[in-house]
């Protein structure tokens, strides 16, 4: 099975900061990597699919990159509504799996 890891597990940042979260797969997954945002008490929300395609309605400050085993999610200028937990998820096979999450909170 494909295992996903994320780093860091948590980070503290200020409004306006540039934030980058990384995700790694234990084997190549091509570009089949998605990113989700989850706020407390809410369902996850799709941000990025296929490594770098931004979901409709998602602000342009969110971007994704990577291929193979290493991926990143970048928030170019952190906004108050971006404080949340972020998960990566592979879809290289239909035995999908998520990373453990990265919690972004206020410094």
Partner 1 sequence: QVRLVESGGGLVKPGGSLRLSCAASGFTFSDHYMTWIRQAPGKGLEWISYISSTSSFINYAASVKGRFTISRDNAKNSLYLQINSLRAEDTALYYCARALFGVTTAYYFDSWGQGTLVTVSS
Among 2, 44, 61, 69, the residue binding partner 1 under the rule CB under 8 A is 44
Residue 7 within binding range of partner 1, rule CB under 8 A: no
> Exposed, middle or buried, 99 (CB in 10 Å: 0-12/13-18/19+)?
buried
Residue 46 within binding range of partner 1, rule CB under 8 A: yes
Residue 98 within binding range of partner 1, rule CB under 8 A: yes
* Neighbouring-strand partners of residue 36: 46, 87
Q: Could you tell me the two tokens for 30?
A: 């091509």
Which C-beta is closer to partner 1: that of 17 or that of 92? 92
The binding track of 77-96 with respect to partner 1, each residue x by CB under 8 A or -, is: ----------x-x-xx-xxx
Beta strands at 33-38 and 85-90: parallel, antiparallel or unpaired: antiparallel
């Amino acid at each position: 099975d494909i295992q996903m890891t994320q780093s860091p597990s948590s980070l503290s940042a200020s409004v306006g900061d540039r934030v980058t979260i990384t995700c790694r797969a234990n084997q190549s997954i091509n570009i089949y990597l998605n990113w989700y945002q989850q706020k407390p008490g809410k369902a996850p929300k799709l941000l990025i699919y296929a490594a770098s395609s931004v979901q409709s309605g998602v602000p342009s400050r969110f971007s994704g990159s990577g291929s193979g085993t290493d991926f990143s999610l970048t928030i170019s200028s952190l906004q108050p509504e971006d404080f949340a937990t972020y998960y990566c998820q592979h879809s290289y096979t239909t035995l999908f799996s998520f990373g453990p999450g990265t919690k972004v909170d206020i410094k």
